Amino acid sequence: MGLNLAQKIIKAHLVEGSMEAGSEIAIKIDQTLTQDATGTMAYLQFEAMDLPQVRTELSVSYVDHNTLQTGFENADDHLFLQTIANKYGIYFSRPGNGICHQVHLERFGKPGKTLLGSDSHTPTGGGIGMLAIGAGGLDVAVAMGGGPFYLPMPKIVKVNLTGELNPYVTAKDIILELLRRLTVKGGVGKIFEYTGPGVATLRVPQRATITNMGAELGATTSLFPSDQVTREFLAAQGREADWEELVADQDATYDEEIEINLSELEPLVAQPHSPDHVVPVRELANKPVDQVAIGSCTNSSYVDLMRVAKALRGKQVHPNVSLVISPGSKQVLTMLAQNGALADLVQAGARILECTCGPCIGMGQAPPSAGISLRTFNRNFEGRSGTKSGQVYLVSPEVAVASAIAGTFADPRELGEYPLVEEPESFLIDDRMILEPGHSDAEVRRGPNIKALPLQEALPETYRGKVLLKVGDNITTDHIMPAGAKILPLRSNVPALSQHVFQQVDASFAQRAQEAGGGLIVGGQNYGQGSSREHAALCPMYLGIKAVLAQSFARIHKANLVNFGILPLEISAEDYEQIAQGDELEFPNLREVLEDNKGVVVAKNLQDGTQITFRYELSERQVAIILAGGLLNYTKNKA
């Protein structure tokens, strides 16, 4: 029996376990990436391992999130990241060079390699046939130290693409269609592998858009084959030597199959406040728009922005609309400047931002109160834009530019002839903003905002704690640990950052947690979806949270909870309804129960005397990590 592409790459990198869906495996990691919102903590964790150099084939540190320097904090963190990269053998992409996923695709990604990144949209690399997975910073630190990455063996879903996209229908519409069908929980524990005759009609930037937003399905990762289209892209980047053909065997089998006829798709839009709240844009026609933002790691490629520039040439942004554009990389921005497209954008009234994540993570360009913002981004969670009442819709660049001109939601097919944009035969190659690492005796510079790495104590024999907060379904890491221009600069200062945990949900949470000496959180389905930010586990740990009791967990966040010694327990829908905020639960003989590893934990609700049975799905290794109080303690104990 043949292997599919995901199985081939996993088999080539398998260190422990067997490729049976659901069982824990460990894979060797070839490359890592970090960004500055997660990187500072990841490198503090790497330092704690006391290794002289990274042990990967390639590790890259990007600065693309915290670039707005309203105080010393972000600038100090950038110096720390640059100097620690120089010391430990890590490439450093300077501020302004671009968004990590776009730059890594352009300059470093290789078909068939494994990539682990401290950002949930690392699967962008699947657009060129990489097995690229997002994870918490601690997992990435371990991988930089040469350790394998552990995960449950995913199911492999075959997405068979047929037909061809019609003009003004885009790769964004393909992934929005999948989200419409499957929801944000539909990809948990799965890898989406794209096959079929429609694949050959999609260029690498289009494929990368799809794999990037596969994260919104909750998927482990997504990937395309490495074919002649991939070869042409890498050749245009001056990296044809990095190409190799990688396709599934003809007799490959899959756990599930999905059919999408590209010819039947139309322009789509995800409505507030979830990427799976998808409808055709025609259903929103003539609804007024306040802001349009084009860019992010999902849709900021050269081809995307050239098509926007051509649509805007000779036209003007509607007077009621603020249009902002953030190119994905310095390569893209420079090429737009050289061919005159940048002038078309500026003359039309667009505001040009840095080559960064920017508005996508609430770093500037917050919409007005209750304002409608159309964004070519990947997430539209409530408050993520920086305006809690903001109404954010996710769209393709084509829908975005058509709406920016009209001042209302507009079907781009009404723009007329579809602008023809070819991928260049040769991209502009200038890597001077990427610094090669230096020597192991290099000095590391640390600003006063960089605080010591907090650690969790070992799990106690018996635990008693109050339910400090009860929340509903689809709680995101933005709910748990907000981002934005005011909070992101504190990422390397956990004591200060922890004061903002659940700030949007309950502003009193941090204070109550500290006064109670910690406690428990109760959640609904898909707890912890969204960003990979490990601070959504690290800061609750700092506040004394010992367990999260939820109906189900998002993959990366569950792993982060384990890494920081917080026990993820699954609760039934019936018991969820019975537990109230303020209830006190007692877990007798907790260490002994976990050591037996039967998958069940029983607690007593001291409010009414009832017993509650929780289930958990943890490997023996993960249980040992919980007992030790987290992955760093576990690693030190093993050493």
What tokens were used for 216? Answer: 């919104």
CA dist., res. 313 & res. 350, Å (int): 11
Residue 85's SS3 state is helix
CA proximity to 545, closest of 576, 585, 573: 585
Q: What six digits make up the tokens of 304?
A: 């995307």
The confidence score (pLDDT) of residue 114 equals 98
CB 188 within 8 A of CB 221: no
pLDDT value at 214 more than 90: yes
- pLDDT of 405: 97
Question: Is 439 part of the annotated catalytic residue set?
Answer: no
Pick the CATH number of 5-264 from 3.30.420.40, 1.20.950.20, 3.30.499.10, 3.90.650.10: 3.30.499.10
Average pLDDT rounded to a whole number, residues 522-535: 92
Q: Where in the chain is the domain with CATH 3.30.499.10?
A: 5-264, 268-415
Matching CATH number, 268-415, of 3.30.499.10, 3.40.50.720, 1.20.120.330, 3.90.1720.10: 3.30.499.10
Exactly one of 107, 491, 533, 555 is catalytic; which is it? 533
439 pLDDT higher than 80 = no
List the catalytic residue out of 30, 36, 64, 173.
64
CB burial string 477-500: b at 16+ within 10 A, e below: bbbbbbbbbebbbbbbbbebbbeb
CATH 3.20.19.10 for domain 463-483+492-638, yes or no, is yes
pLDDT in tens, 564-606: 999 999 999 999 999 999 999 999 999 999 999 899 999 999 9
pLDDT value at position 12? 98
Can you give the pLDDT at residue 179? Answer: 98
Q: Please write the tens of the pLDDT for every residue from 251-308.
A: 999 999 999 999 999 999 999 999 999 999 999 999 999 999 999 999 999 999 999 9
Nearest in space to 41 (alpha carbons), one of 613, 502, 546, 497: 497
Distance CA 636, CA 629 (A): 11
pLDDT tens string 502-522: 999 999 999 999 999 999 999
pLDDT digits (tens, 9 = 90+) for 354-405: 999 888 888 888 899 999 999 999 999 888 888 889 999 999 999 999 999 9
Does 119 participate in catalysis according to the annotation? Answer: yes
Q: What is the helix (H) or strand (E) element at residue 497, kind and residue range?
A: helix 494-497
Tell me whether residue 375 is one of the annotated catalytic residues: no
Tell me what pLDDT residue 48 has: 86
536 vs 557: CA distance, rounded Å: 8
Instruction: Give Cα 622 to chain centroid, integer Å.
Output: 22
Question: What residue spans of 15-118 are helical by DSSP H?
Answer: 36-47, 72-88, 100-107
Reply yes or no on whether 139 is catalytic: no
Of residues 456 and 626, more confidence is placed in 626
The torsion angles phi and psi of 243, rounded to 5 degrees, stand at: -80, 145
CA 299-556-524 angle, to 5 degrees, is 105
Q: With pLDDT > 90 as the criterion, what percentage of the chain qualifies?
A: 86
Q: So what's the pLDDT on residue 67?
A: 83
Tell me: pLDDT of 635 over 80.
yes
Residues 6+ apart with CB under 8 A from 6: 131, 154, 156, 191, 193, 223
pLDDT at 639: 64
pLDDT for 312 beyond 80: yes
CB 216 within 8 A of CB 275: yes
Q: What pLDDT sits at residue 69?
A: 84
- Compute the mean pLDDT over every residue in the chain, rounded to the nearest whole number: 95
Active site residue 432: no
| Structure-token pair, residue 162 | 């047929």
**DSSP assignment, residue 376?**
S
Per the residue annotation, which of 61, 222, 403, 531 is the catalytic one?
531
Burial 105-127 (b: 16+ CB within 10 A, else e): bbbbbbbbbbbbbbbbbbbbbbb
Which residues make Cβ contacts (< 8 Å) with residue 267, sequence separation at least 6?
Answer: 168, 169, 170, 173, 280, 281, 282, 395, 396, 398, 399, 411, 412, 413
In whole angstroms, how far apart are CA 191 and each of 39, 136, 161, 221, 278?
A: 26, 18, 16, 5, 22
107, 121, 379, 479: the active-site residue? 379
pLDDT (mean) for 418-437? 94
pLDDT for 491: 86
Active site residue 615: no
Max Cα-Cα span within the chain:
73
Candidate list 13, 30, 65, 532, residue with the active-site label: 65
**Residue in 36, 119, 276, 411 annotated catalytic:** 119
pLDDT tens-digit map of 119-143: 999 999 999 999 999 999 999 999 9
Q: What pTM, to 2 d.p., does this model score?
A: 0.92
